[in-house]
Amino acid sequence: MNVENITVLGSTGSIGQNTLDVIRRNPERFRVKALGAGSNVGKMFRDVKEFRPDVAVLADKDAALELERLVRAEGDLGSVRVEGGYDVLSSIASLPDTDSVMAAISGSAGLVPALAAIKAGKKIYLANKESLIMTGHLFIDEARRSHSVILPVDSEHNAMFQCLPEIVQQSIGYCDMKAAGVSKLLLTGSGGPFRKRDISTFDAITPEEAVAHPTWSMGRKISVDSATMMNKGFEFIEAKWLFNASNDQISVIIHPESMIHSMVQYRDGAVLAEIGNPDMRTPIARVMSYPDRIDSGVGPVDFFAIEHLEFIRPDFSRYPCLKLAIDSCWSGQSATTALNAANEKAVAAFLDRRIRFTDIVRVCSETVSRFSSERSETMEDVFALDSAASAYASDLVRKYTI
Ligand code: NAD
Ligand code: MG
């Protein structure tokens, strides 16, 4: 078997570290070609020593200089090149001898390097859902043009991928689910840490409470998105693009135990579910080895330890961000681009204690209303809209600052 040369973008983050663990367990299958991240010198240096990539990149140039100093001081790392700057992330996503790219930079910063991988025709393991929220069919069209294969890492989409027929798996982005006998994608979510909290106290939610996810361990931004269920709304939009779904082909179901990671309902009444322990190494290993199966480090499910499984209809008064995202999905590309930009600003401000938890949806819905009829026909339109919506949302954050 040929060794796969992989570039890991966002290597110091939660998905990045889980990816490196899967690689660590399968050294005969993967070679780390390049690592890229934001500014965490300590983690990057440790991973450079272990995986010895050709190139290590930190977007923060000062952090890259510090990394370079550490690498050069370590006599036997002479072959590792260290580079600094955001633009270099796109170069390591498109290196001629890179076969695949794990796209796991968080937020809108993940888009440009993911696009570079796609344009270069790489196989892309897509964790950065924001790429699809921001650019939708433009992203899918680029992938089709360059014959880049997209494999979904997000656990729900990965679960659906596993439950879908092969013909759909092999035409991600432009599949025909109806022709394949699929009637619905059942998108499950835990409901986050505030599923039972009194709604009248949501104003007082702290960042610490919001990032304490009951079942999954994730980065801070996506943890807040899970608490508002904006994340599930984003996943609704992500499912639409990955599986070419229409609005009556996706339903959201709250399933607090997070054992079922999503399901696919077929026209004959059969429903296939993917079940596993909530550990991102399973979906990561699934995409990286597809169509084979490899060791991920995740243990088997202990069915006798599961007392019961619950399924609940989402209550939009508890999760207004979920409603806003679903409405934006059907409103169009401009709405979802604006929503992503606003949410990024609002969540960062909430984590900095500048606005309240309940202000997140205010900032987002006002931004969506302002920009949903702007142009989003081309990538240039989308980038301009993203900047304008980000600036508008920053102003709203100032308006709501506590
Ligand atoms: P994280 O915050 O743990 O890590 C983010 C990574 O991106 C870090 O390596 C960081 O250095 C890098 N980064 C951030 N901003 C950057 C910038 N401007 N330039 C360069 N690098 C930058 O995030 P995460 O939880 O690993 O999530 C990564 C992506 O995967 C997100 O898009 C998230 O929505 C998606 N995702 C995560 C999970 C999960 O379980 N963590 C599940 C599904 C999808
Ligand atoms: Mg998910």
What's the CATH number where 12 sits?
A: 3.40.50.720
What atom of ligand 1 comes closest to residue 216's alpha carbon?
Answer: 40
Are residues 214 and 66 part of one domain? no
Claim to verify: residue 124 and residue 178 sit in the same structural domain: no
B/e letters for 213-224, b = 16+ CB within 10 Å, e = fewer, are bbbbebbebbbb
3-state secondary structure of 205: coil
Q: Tell me whether residue 184 is in a domain.
A: yes
What is the Å distance from ligand 1's center to 105 Cα? 4
Residue 148 lies in a domain: no
Asked, for residue 24, whether it belongs to a domain, the answer is yes
Residue 361 and residue 298 in one domain? yes
Mutate to test the pocket of ligand 1, among 106, 135, 347 (most ligand atoms within 8 A of CB): 106
Q: Would you say residue 157 lies in a domain?
A: no
Whether the CB-CB separation of 47 and 11 falls below 8 Å is answered with yes
Tell me whether residue 133 is in a domain: no
Residues with CB under 5 A from ligand 2 (ion): 154-156
CA dist., res. 103 & res. 90, Å (int): 11
If asked whether residues 246 and 194 sit together in one domain, one would say yes
- Looking at the chain, the whole-number percentage of residues with pLDDT higher than 90 is 96
**What digits encode the pLDDT tens for the residues 55-95?**
999 999 999 999 999 999 998 888 999 999 999 999 999 99
Residues 6+ apart with CB under 8 A from 375: 334, 381, 385
Structure tokens at 187: 């998108």
Q: Beta partners for 323?
A: none
Half-sphere exposure of 242 (CA within 13 A, CB side): 32
* Closest to 193 measured CA to CA, from 103, 60, 318: 318
Residue 252 has pLDDT above 90, yes or no: yes
267-271 own/partner pairs: CB under 8 Å, 24+ apart: 267/181, 267/182, 267/183, 268/181, 271/186
Q: 305 with 355, same domain?
A: yes
Domain membership of residue 145 (yes or no) is no
**Tokens, residue 388:** 């304008």
- Which of 128, 149, 180 terminates a domain? The answer is 128
Phi, psi dihedral angles at 101 (to 5 degrees) = -135, 125
Q: Based on the domain organization, do 118 and 264 belong to the same domain?
A: no
Q: Are 214 and 71 members of one domain? A: no
Q: Are 272 and 360 contained in the same domain?
A: yes
Q: Considering the domain boundaries, does residue 258 fall inside one?
A: yes
Residue type, position 135, single letter: T
| CATH code, domain carrying 306 | 1.10.1740.10
DSSP type of residue 378: S
User: Which domain covers residue 24, as residue numbers?
Assistant: 4-128
Give residue 213's pLDDT band: very low, low, confident or very high (50, 70, 90). confident
- 93 and 176 fall within a common domain: no
User: How many domains is the chain partitioned into structurally?
Assistant: 2
- The Cα–Cα gap between 280 and 219 comes to 12
23 with 82, same domain: the answer is: yes
The phi, psi pair for 81, rounded to 5°, reads: -90, 135
Residues with Cβ < 8 Å from 165, sequence gap 6 or more?
Answer: 180, 181, 182
Looking at the fold, whether 376 and 252 belong to one and the same domain comes out as yes
For 354-391, write each residue's pLDDT tens digit.
Answer: 999 999 999 999 999 999 999 999 999 999 999 999 99
208 and 315, same structural domain?
A: yes
Residue 146, domain member (yes or no): no
- Give the helix ranges, DSSP H, for 94-199: 111-119, 130-135, 137-146, 155-163, 166-169
**Mean pLDDT across the stretch 89-117?**
97
Instruction: Answer whether 0.95 is exceeded by the pTM.
Output: yes
pLDDT tens string 24-50: 999 999 999 999 999 999 999 999 999
Residues having CB closer than 6 A to ligand 1 are 10-16, 37-38, 40, 59, 86, 89, 104-106, 109-110, 127-130, 154, 216, 218-219, 222, 280
